[in-house]
Copies of this chain bind each other. A is one copy, B any other.
């Protein structure tokens, strides 16, 4: 085990020399943030200061730079770890985070509490992908949202998930919403003998979130949806960890787009929607599927899957592509994503109207048929 953790950056530079200078700049910027000649001798210079471990040509005009950092630069705090990985350097162009090796921090950030295996136990689903309709649109009443949830659960949905846009709207206040949906899903589970999991969207004023999470758990929610781009990754850690309500956490990419959309800033798709979500403790990571109205490529989606299911941080988690799933495309989607996936069913499902449960059932049957 290394004594330092390592971050790999893609550096956009014209030469090896320029790339090395950039890497040395990152090592300073992300730790001491002072010129090299005034770094205090001893502990600060020897331990705290970032250390360039490797700079190598990668592609045309790009270099792979590995910088190592001391655990003492972030202690045991996730926000500060992210701050060291890419705080100030996020404001410089020509630099992208492509890898993270936690080294000695692996035990500090244990990752998901449930992971894929834990979700299968909770949902009593030993094999095959999870089909997850989204409860929306905002503006519906709590009773209307609960009716959709109940119909989907009776139809065979493995998970029903609230839309990330359901917050404290007056049309469906949080307490009433989770109570009604929790009850509707429990009733459906009672009727079917299955165990559909209900994920409530944890969105509200910062000071209210811990109590809201407990409220959701008491109302029968089996999991929480969290947007780290709006609430910070540390809320995921807080809720997924021992002081949280003990429910699995699904993360949503809202407000995080600019961190992946540019070629030369931010994070790779795998780092953002795989590694960072696992680091924070998420069990399921939502991202937009290839095709549809977001521009992710098939390669970027595969990269996210690999980052969700590969070695660490912690347990492998479910990648959750949104959009594109239908009975007609079930075979193709399964071939691309494999069975350890959650498929989000978006707004087009609402076309089925009162037949929404039957539409979910038809999709689940087709997934079984093609071998999910």
Contact = CB atoms under 8 A, between A and B. Distances in A.
Interface of A: 25, 29-35, 37-40, 43-44, 47-49, 72-80, 82-84, 86-93, 136-140, 163-165, 167-171, 203-207, 210, 227, 229-235, 237-238, 243, 253-262, 265-266, 288, 293-295, 346-348, 350-351
Nearest to A137: B32
19 contacts: A31-B137, A31-B139, A32-B138, A32-B347, A33-B163, A33-B347, A35-B348, A72-B171, A74-B167, A75-B169, A77-B168, A77-B205, A79-B227, A79-B230, A79-B231, A83-B254, A90-B229, A91-B288, A205-B238
A69 to B, nearest CB: 11
Copies per assembly: 2
Given A72-B139, A231-B79, A295-B92, A165 B255 contact: no
Contacts of A206: 79, 232, 234-235, 237-238
A72 B207 contact: no
B44 A261 contact: no
Nearest to A87: B254
Given A40-B137, A262-B262, 7 more contacts: A29-B293, A79-B227, A87-B230, A91-B260, A91-B288, A205-B237, A206-B238
Contacts of A39: 137
Given A33-B347, A234-B231, A48 B139 contact: yes
A164 B230 CA distance: 19
A89 B48 CA distance: 39
Given A234-B206, A243-B207, A347-B38, A261 B91 contact: yes
B203 A34 contact: no
Contacts of A80: 165, 167-169, 203
Contacts of A33: 136-137, 163, 165, 346-347
A83 B227 contact: yes
Contacts of A233: 230
Contact of A232 (B31, B170, B231, B348): B231
Given A230-B82, A258-B262, A165 B40 contact: no
A301 to B, nearest CB: 13
B44 A137 contact: yes
B293 A25 contact: yes
A76 B168 contact: yes
Given A48-B139, A138-B73, A232-B235, A38 B351 contact: yes
Most buried by B among A33, A93, A258: A258
A294 B92 contact: yes
A230 B72 contact: no
Contacts of A257: 89-92, 265
B261 A167 contact: no
Most buried by B among A77, A91, A167, A346: A91
Given A35-B347, A92-B295, A203-B80, A255 B87 contact: yes
A39 B235 CA distance: 32
Contacts of A168: 75-77, 80
